[in-house]
Chain A
Amino acid sequence: MAVTAVSGPVARPTPRLRRMEDERWLAFALLVPTAVLLGLFIAYPFIEGVLLSLNSTRVGVKGDFVGLKNFDKIWNDSIFRTSVWNTFWYTGVTTVFKLALGLWLAMLLNRHFKGKALVRAFILLPFIIPTVLSTFAWKWMFDPTFSVINWTLFQLGFITQRINWLGDPDLAMTSIIIVNVWRGVPFFAISLLAGLQTISPELQEAAAIDGARPWQRFWHVTWPLLLPVTMVVVLFSVIQTFADFQLVYVMTGGGPANATHLFATYAYQLGIGTGLLSEGAAVSLAMFPFLFLIVVVQLLYIRRVETR
Chain B
Amino acid sequence: MIEGAVWRKWVFYNIPLILFVFVLLFPFYWMIITTFRPDGELYRPWNAANYQPFWTNNPTLDHVLYLFEETSFGRWMLNTMFIAAVSTVISLICGVFAGYALARLNFPFAGGLGTVIFVTYLVPQTLLFIPLAEIIRNFQLGDTPWALILTYPTFLIPFCTWLMMGYFKAIPKELEECARIDGASRWKAMVYIILPVAVPGILSAGIFAFTLSWNEFIYALVFLSSPDQKTVPVGVTSELIRGDVFFWGPLMAGALLGSIPVAIVYSFFVEHYVSGLTGSVKG
Contacts and interface: CB of A to CB of B under 8 A. Distances in A.
Interface of A: 1-3, 5-6, 10, 13, 17, 20-21, 23-24, 26-28, 30-31, 33-34, 37-38, 40-42, 44-46, 48-49, 52, 101, 104-105, 108-109, 111, 113, 117, 119-126, 128-134, 136-138, 140-141, 143, 145-148, 150-152, 154, 162, 182, 185-187, 190-191, 194, 201, 204, 229, 232-233, 236, 239-240, 242-246, 249-250, 263-264, 267-268, 271-272, 277, 280-281, 284-285, 287-288, 291, 294-295, 298-299, 302
A281 B127 CA distance: 8
A27 B13 contact: no
B51 A151 contact: yes
A162 B47 contact: yes
Contacts of A143: 248
B118 to A, nearest CB: 7
B250 to A, nearest CB: 11
Contacts of A152: 53
A129 B27 CA distance: 11
Interface string B151-180: 101100110010000000000000001001
B154 A38 contact: yes
Nearest to B187: A20
A231 B120 CA distance: 19
Contact of B24 (A123, A147, A299): A123
B251 A243 contact: no
17 contacts: A2-B181, A17-B187, A34-B97, A41-B150, A45-B132, A117-B270, A122-B21, A123-B20, A125-B28, A130-B262, A154-B47, A191-B278, A232-B283, A267-B126, A267-B130, A268-B129, A291-B127
Interface string B110-128: 1001010111101111111
Contacts of B122: 236, 239, 291, 294-295, 298
A291 B158 CA distance: 17
Contact of A133 (B129, B158, B259): B259
B30 A272 contact: no
A302 B162 CA distance: 14
Contacts of A271: 130
B39 to A, nearest CB: 12
Contacts of B17: 105, 108-109, 119
B11 interface: no
Contacts of B151: 41
| Max chain B Cβ within 10 angstroms of own Cβ: one of A49, A147, A204 | A49
Contact of A48 (B90, B135, B233): B135
A20 B186 contact: yes
A240 B110 CA distance: 27
A182 B273 CA distance: 19
Contacts of A244: 126
Nearest to A134: B27
B5 interface: no
Contacts of A24: 105-108
Contacts of A131: 215, 217, 233
Contact of A21 (B45, B185, B259): B185
Pairs A-B, 4 closest by C-beta atoms: A243-B124, A264-B126, A49-B131, A133-B255
A129 to B, nearest CB: 5
A271 B90 CA distance: 30
B68 interface: no
Contacts of A141: 27, 30
A126 B214 contact: no
A292 B34 CA distance: 43
A132 B248 contact: no
B58 interface: no
Given A130-B258, A136-B255, 16 more contacts: A1-B177, A2-B181, A24-B107, A26-B101, A27-B110, A41-B154, A111-B13, A119-B17, A121-B270, A124-B277, A129-B263, A133-B254, A137-B34, A137-B252, A268-B129, A268-B218
Given A26-B186, A285-B127, A288-B127, A250 B237 contact: yes
Given A28-B107, A41-B154, A281-B130, A17 B185 contact: yes
A26 B20 CA distance: 50
Contacts of A280: 130
A175 B231 CA distance: 26
Contacts of B128: 42, 45-46, 49, 284
B157 A34 contact: yes
Contacts of B281: 191, 229, 232-233, 236
A151 B2 contact: no
A230 B215 CA distance: 25
Given A31-B113, A104-B16, A146-B45, A182 B23 contact: yes
Contacts of B106: 23-24
Contact of A132 (B1, B126, B150, B236): B236
A60 B122 CA distance: 32
A133 B31 CA distance: 9
